[in-house]
Structure 1
Amino acid sequence: MTKDKPNLALQREAAVAYRRDWQPNVEKIRFTQEGNRPGFGVPWSVNAVATVGGTEYQVIIGPNDSPGFPTGYPPPDSPMPPPAVPLTVVYSDGTSEVIE
C-alpha cells in the first residue's frame, strides 16, 4: 500500500475535484476535520461544509470518490455552462486560499 499525501494536500485535491467533477458553482469549502482513510480499501475522504448559492451543505469528499451528503440534502445542480466562480478553500488547520 502506498502512503497518502499529507492531509492538507489531499484536502486541496478533494476541493478541486469536487468543483471540477460535481459542483462547479461551489463558492467555498471549509474542511471540518483533517480527513482519513478508514481502512479496508476505502479511499481517503474528509468532512467539509460546501457553500453553493450562499447556502451551506454538509459534504464528505475525497480526490478520487463521489461526494456524500450526510444530511441527505445535496446542493442543486449547476446551470450549464456554469459561471466561473472563484473557490475559497479553508483548510482544517485554519489556513485558506482562493482557487480561480
Structure 2
Amino acid sequence: MADVRCQSLQGAVRFAKQGDLLGIVAASEPILEAPLMVNVVKETGLLLFTYGVLNNEVQNAVAQKYYGVDAVIVDSVLAVRKGLREGQIGGDGSP
C-alpha cells in the first residue's frame, strides 16, 4: 500500500505518536511470528490491538495476551471465550 502507516509497525507507531493517538491496530500475523514487536510498541507508551483470522484460534489469542497485546479483536467471540474458559492455556498462563 502507498500509505506509510500500513507499510510497517514502526511507521504506524511513528504516525500514532505524532498524531497523539492512544495506540495502533495491527494484523496479528506479524505479532505471532515476531512477538518481540510488541515491545517496540509498548516501549513508546502506545496500546496495541490486533486483528485477523488467526485471532479466532484460542491459542493465538492467549499467546498475544501473554506477549503483552492489549486487545485481540476476534470474529468468533463465543468460540474464543469458550476456549479460554476451558483452560486451553499452560499452567503458568503461557500458550
**TM-score bracket, shorter-length normalisation:** under 0.3
TM-score scaled to structure 1, two decimals? 0.26
Which has more strand, going by share of residues? 1
Greater RCO structure (CA 8 Å; 6+ sep): 1
Q: For the pair shown, which has the larger CA radius of gyration, 1 or 2?
A: 2
Which has more helix, going by share of residues? 2
